[in-house]
Amino acid sequence: MQNDETVTAALAIIGNEILSGRTQDANLTFIGRSLNEIGIQLREVRVVPDIEKEIVDAVNALRSRYDYVFTTGGIGPTHDDITPESVAAAFGRKAVYHPEAYARLESWYKANGREFTEARKRMTLMPEGAELVDNAVSIAPGFRIENVFVLAGVPQIMRAMFEALKPQLRGGKTVRTRSISTRVVEGVLADGLAAIQKKFPQTDIGSYPFYNTPNGTGVSLVIRSTEERLLDAAGEEIIRMIHDLGGEVLDDERS
């Protein structure tokens, strides 16, 4: 459900494998786009190692600053999957086997003729009082505690969990974008662009160079705002500036 307020979120990507470069994170783009579609602005992203104090500090800093916090990674069966215990510590709660999660996994492994080992039981560890986030892909759920949602790191599973939790989210203003491309280079545009940004402080204007494309070399000027009228006004100022500098507009797209 969307309204006219600004709703914000942060993401903590947890895992040594991300920081080492061994694994490339594939969840940030999905989460950012999915949140914006329902009117939640992703304002901050942190990559955190598998160290309890680092996770505790990150979760506590983010949950006090944003409406929602999402974490990905570290909820599996191995020794380095310490996100549940760390989130529990962040809230000053015990990490316990969640009874419903335990029952689901115990039943699933029994039905599939597999042993419900101590390692697999770890996937039901959660802060005391946590609410489950369903997982339609591999049974083992994520969880929610207050404004923090703890999700899997495996992209397919994370996406299933996100779809399950989405009805719980309160949407606000959706950020719209307008992208204007030109062959006029950044160094020539910089002063005029700074003046336009100052004139429209409620917008975010970014400059993104491109090279060796079908349009040659130039820059895409991207305006972001929750207000369509500001996209219109700031965009027209940018187009006027480009023309005044002897350039042409190659593309003018909205999303």
Q: pLDDT per residue over 185-231, tens digit each?
A: 999 999 999 999 999 999 999 999 998 777 788 999 999 998 999 99
Give tens-digit pLDDT for 52-64. Answer: 999 999 999 999 9
Contact (Cβ atoms closer than 8 angstroms) between residue 124 and residue 102? yes
Distance from C-alpha of 133 to C-alpha of 163, rounded to nearest angstrom: 10
Which ranges in the chain are annotated with CATH 3.40.980.10?
7-168
Domain 7-168, classified CATH 3.90.180.10, yes or no: no
**Whole-prediction pTM:** 0.83
pLDDT band (50, 70, 90) for residue 173: confident
Which ranges in the chain are annotated with CATH 3.30.70.1130?
176-254
Contact (Cβ atoms closer than 8 angstroms) between residue 218 and residue 183? yes
CATH of domain 176-254: 3.30.70.1130
Give tens-digit pLDDT for 84-134. Answer: 999 999 999 999 999 999 999 999 999 999 999 999 999 999 999 999 999
